[in-house]
Each structure stands twice: as C-alpha cells, then as structure tokens.
Chain A
Amino acid sequence: MIDFDYQAPTSLDEALSVLQQRGDDARVIAGGTALVILMKQRLVRPELVVSLRRVPELQRLAADNGTLHIGATVTHRAMETDAAVRQRWPLLAETFSRVATVRIRNMATVGGGIAHGDPNQDPPPALIALDARVRLRSSQGDREVPMQDFFLDYYETDIRPGEVLTEVVVPAQPAGAGWAYTKFLPRTADDYATVSVACVVSLEDGSNRCREARVALGSAGTTPIRAEAVEAALRGQELTPQRLREAAQQVEGLVDPISDFRGSSEYKREMAVVWTRRALEQAIERARSGS
C-alpha cells in the first residue's frame, strides 16, 4: 500500500476548501471499496486522501414530495433495505441489492460508486432509467448534471477539479410503471455483469400500448448507455412480442462492449439484445399486474 496523508473534515465547506488548496494531489474517499484497491495496485497515488465519512449533510437519505434525495455517503446496503426506497423506488432497491456482496454493500457508498465511473457497475443504468440527476458542489456553488450525461469515458466523469458529488436526486418512479433490472451473470453471483439492463415502462391506461419507456445498459461500452432508440421504438406502440424483439434489436447499434474474460465483444452485443428484450418483458409484466 502506498503512503498517503489523511484528513476527515466534519463539514462540506471544510472538505471543499482542502480540495481547492491541494488540487490534483488530493482524492476524495467515501466507502473506499474502489479507491483503496486502486491505491493498493498503485494505479492511483494521491498525496492526500480526504474522507467524507464525517460530513453529516452527505449521509441523508430522504423522500421529499415524491423526490428521493440520496446523500453521497449513503451505503448500498441502506438503499437495499430502506423502507421508502423499497416501496416507492423498487427498481433502486432491487438494483442495489445485486451489487457484489453484503460485506461490500455495507461499505460502498452511492456517491462513491458513481464517482468511480466504472461502466460495469449496477446502479448507473437504473438511475439513468429513472431520470436521476447528480448534484455537485465546489467553492463556486452547486450544479446539477443529468445522470445520463455524467459519465464521459471509462473511469471518467463530469466531476471537475475541486468539486464533490453531494447528492443523487431521483424523481418519483412513474405511478403504475413496470420496471426491471436484469444482470447477466454467467460466472459467479458476486461478479460484475457481463451485460446489464435497467428499464421503466408505463402503459396507456388499461391497454397494451406503451406510453413511455426508459432503457439503459451497463457493461456494454465505456460508459453506461441510455438506449433512446429502443425507447423510441416502443413509445405509443402496441407491445406485441414482435414489437419487443424489434425494439430490443436496436441496442445492437448502440452498444460497444469490450472483449474480456466475461465474453467477446460480439457475444456481449448479442447478449445485450437478448437481455434488453427480457428486461422489457419483465417490466411490462409488472406494469400489467400492477406490482
């Protein structure tokens, strides 16, 4: 393990001021499950690590007027077990429960995971499907970025120097909408996905016609990918099996998976189509049954 200095400020203002003074020499840590491993492997060598674990304002998880506010240091385990999240954002509760193992979910934080910018992670596709936004703060003030624009490249996000990711804001999961998170895991249950798909589908009242759909994929390129072509192929359409197959086929041209030990690029591209169709089927089934 590399040597580093460590500070644990007790307010966000104090953290921001340290980050501004130390610039590129400093890295923010939350749960540490990503950064500590990168430091052990000497891929990241910060002189100073600034912990957010003592900043109370980042620990808040609350539903206000139908909008979910997830503080940056809320753990994955809290997202999985929180009563309001389970009841009103079941897609999020399900998705966070699929991350790694309980031990890691006790440590890893929502903000830390997103700031890590690994396209193989589970939560980003679900947060994109729910139209979530990322809130960032620097000494210059706050700004918001839609989750779908936040990821720029492999391990690269829109967080600017001196900024801290403070909160993820999630609008209400549309009433009556069906949802699904499918994670294709051919190796082990605690692995990253070979490909993953999150979707939210609403139907026109009492019909089999799609009012709105949002679909996003993980492990399918250098960032999580929102599949707008799939959404367009469903919107306003009668949801026949043929229509679902045609809509899912659209992801073929959207994804750009890398070949690795989880499969070749070609294989993952085909699996992205298959698992998109399965995710849509699950979501539509939930929308119909009202669960």
Chain B
Amino acid sequence: MEQTIHLRVNGEAHELTVRPRRLLVDLLRYDLGLTGTKEGCSVGVCGACTVLLDGKNVASCILPAVMADGAEITTIEGLAQDGRLHPLQQAFIDYGGFQCGICTPGQIMAAKALLDTNPHPTEDEIKEWMMGNLCRCTGYYKILDSIKAAAGSEA
C-alpha cells in the first residue's frame, strides 16, 4: 500500500507517495531525478550509493525510503553553492581523485561526513573512515590526497 512521506532533500521539502519497497536510492534517482547518487553492489558494501541522512553517511541502496520519513537528505547535487563547487569536489578535480567517476559521488559524500565530524583527520583516520567506499580504477592514493587537500582548504 502506498504511503505519503516527507523528506528534505538538499534543503528542499518534498511530499512523496511511495510504495514501501521503494529504496531511497531509487526514489532519489527516479522520483526526484537526482541521478548523481549511483548504485553499485546493491547490498551496502561498495559505498557508491552513499548519501547523508541527518548528516550521517548511510547506504541508500538498502534503506526503504519510508524509513527515511521526516529526515534531511543530502546528495552530491546538494554540495555546490551559488555555482561554486564544494572544496571536496574541487579537490577531487585538482588531485585526480576520480577516473571513471561512478564511485565518486559516494566517495565525496562519505568524505563530507568525515570532515563534518572531524575537520582535520589524520591519514589513518581518513583511511579507516573511507574503507567502505570502493574504487576500481583511480586507486586510493589520489582519493586520499584529495580528502587531505580539502581538509586543509577548509581549515
């Protein structure tokens, strides 16, 4: 049976009617057209679908949207402000933190959750936090460099 839920997505309020089986990743991509969030493994392991739910990084591929009712969601589309990229987005460009790009929205959202709670993480803290976001092409050093650079620029 369809249900009505309320979400704030990137600061904008939405009232949506969804079936309980609708996963948050599909609601974002198909109902709201926010295709920046990607789906990879579909079982919460790869991190491609990472979004922020009330500021915390979660896997949107295993979260029925009804369970997010009332929450504030931030996706990759919500980071740039007034036409300016977020420092993390700029750093991923400047430091070559992506190649094919499919894992990048998830990498950046996970890194944002990290810097929001710990603005100046050590290298080990970055590695520990980002462990759950897999990349199959660029490799991890440039992602690490990008996050370190962004942490510096936000200082």
- Which one of B54-62, B88-96, B137-145 contacts A? B54-62
With contact pairs A33-B62, A40-B43 given, residues A102 and B57 touching in the complex (Cβ less than 8 Å): yes
Q: How far is the CA of A5 from the CA of B19 in the complex (A)?
A: 8
In the assembled complex, A247 has its CB within 8 A of some CB on chain B: no
Instruction: Report B7 CB to chain A, min CB distance, Å.
Output: 14
Instruction: Report yes or no: A103 in contact with B21, Cβ–Cβ below 8 A.
Output: no
Instruction: Report yes or no: A32 in contact with B110, Cβ–Cβ below 8 A.
Output: no
Q: Which residues of B sit under 8 angstroms from A107, Cβ to Cβ?
A: 44, 58-59, 62-63
Instruction: Report yes or no: A100 in contact with B19, Cβ–Cβ below 8 A.
Output: no
Instruction: Report yes or no: B21 in contact with A4, Cβ–Cβ below 8 A.
Output: yes
Instruction: Report yes or no: B57 in contact with A103, Cβ–Cβ below 8 A.
Output: yes
In the assembled complex, B50 has its CB within 8 A of some CB on chain A: yes
Give 1 or 0 for each of B19-60: 1 = CB within 8 Å of chain A CB.
Answer: 111010000000000000000001111010010010011110
Instruction: Report yes or no: A1 in contact with B21, Cβ–Cβ below 8 A.
Output: yes
With both beta carbons as reference points, the residue of chain A lying nearest to B129 in the complex is identified as A102
With contact pairs A102-B57, A103-B50, A190-B132 given, residues A37 and B67 touching in the complex (Cβ less than 8 Å): no
Instruction: Report yes or no: B62 in contact with A36, Cβ–Cβ below 8 A.
Output: yes
In the assembled complex, A232 has its CB within 8 A of some CB on chain B: no
Instruction: Report yes or no: B63 in contact with A103, Cβ–Cβ below 8 A.
Output: no
Q: How far is the CA of A52 from the CA of B64 in the complex (A)?
A: 14
With both beta carbons as reference points, the residue of chain A lying nearest to B19 in the complex is identified as A3
Instruction: Report A15 CB to chain B, min CB distance, Å.
Output: 15
Contact of B58 among A37, A40, A103 (CB under 8 A): A103
Instruction: Report yes or no: A104 in contact with B20, Cβ–Cβ below 8 A.
Output: no
Q: Which residues of A sit under 8 angstroms from B153, Cβ to Cβ?
A: none
Instruction: Report yes or no: B45 in contact with A6, Cβ–Cβ below 8 A.
Output: no
Q: Which residues of B sit under 8 angstroms from A49, Cβ to Cβ?
A: 20, 64
Instruction: Report yes or no: A190 in contact with B45, Cβ–Cβ below 8 A.
Output: yes
Instruction: Report yes or no: A8 in contact with B69, Cβ–Cβ below 8 A.
Output: yes
With both beta carbons as reference points, the residue of chain A lying nearest to B51 in the complex is identified as A103
Q: How far is the CA of A101 from the CA of B49 in the complex (A)?
A: 14
With contact pairs A103-B132, A190-B131 given, residues A6 and B59 touching in the complex (Cβ less than 8 Å): no
Q: How far is the CA of A45 from the CA of B7 in the complex (A)?
A: 27
Q: How far is the CA of A86 from the CA of B43 in the complex (A)?
A: 30
Q: Which residues of A sit under 8 angstroms from B53, Cβ to Cβ?
A: 106
Contact of A103 among B3, B23, B69, B110 (CB under 8 A): B110
Q: Which residues of A sit under 8 angstroms from B129, Cβ to Cβ?
A: 102
With both beta carbons as reference points, the residue of chain B lying nearest to A36 in the complex is identified as B62
In the assembled complex, A53 has its CB within 8 A of some CB on chain B: yes
Q: Which residues of A sit under 8 angstroms from B110, Cβ to Cβ?
A: 102-103
Q: How far is the CA of A189 from the CA of B19 in the complex (A)?
A: 36
Give 1 or 0 for each of A101-121: 1 = CB within 8 Å of chain B CB.
Answer: 111101100000000000000
Q: Which residues of B sit under 8 angstroms from A3, Cβ to Cβ?
A: 19-21
Instruction: Report yes or no: A33 in contact with B42, Cβ–Cβ below 8 A.
Output: no
In the assembled complex, A29 has its CB within 8 A of some CB on chain B: yes
Give 1 or 0 for each of B95-139: 1 = CB within 8 Å of chain A CB.
Answer: 000000000000000100100000000000000010110000000
Instruction: Report yes or no: A32 in contact with B132, Cβ–Cβ below 8 A.
Output: no
Instruction: Report yes or no: A101 in contact with B131, Cβ–Cβ below 8 A.
Output: yes
Instruction: Report yes or no: A104 in contact with B66, Cβ–Cβ below 8 A.
Output: no
Q: Which residues of A sit under 8 angstroms from B155, Cβ to Cβ?
A: none
In the assembled complex, A2 has its CB within 8 A of some CB on chain B: yes
Instruction: Report yes or no: B20 in contact with A4, Cβ–Cβ below 8 A.
Output: yes
Instruction: Report yes or no: A101 in contact with B62, Cβ–Cβ below 8 A.
Output: no
Instruction: Report yes or no: A5 in contact with B1, Cβ–Cβ below 8 A.
Output: yes
Beyond the given A36-B23, A37-B44, please list 12 additional residue pairs across the A-B interface where CB-CB is below 8 A. Answer: A3-B19, A3-B21, A5-B20, A8-B69, A29-B67, A36-B62, A36-B64, A49-B20, A106-B58, A107-B62, A190-B45, A190-B132
Q: Which 5 pairs between the two chains have the least Cβ-Cβ distance? A: A101-B132, A6-B20, A106-B56, A36-B62, A1-B21
Pairs A–B under 8 Å by Cβ, sample size 19: A1-B21, A5-B1, A6-B20, A8-B69, A32-B63, A33-B44, A36-B62, A36-B63, A37-B44, A40-B42, A77-B56, A101-B131, A101-B132, A103-B50, A104-B132, A106-B56, A106-B57, A189-B131, A190-B45
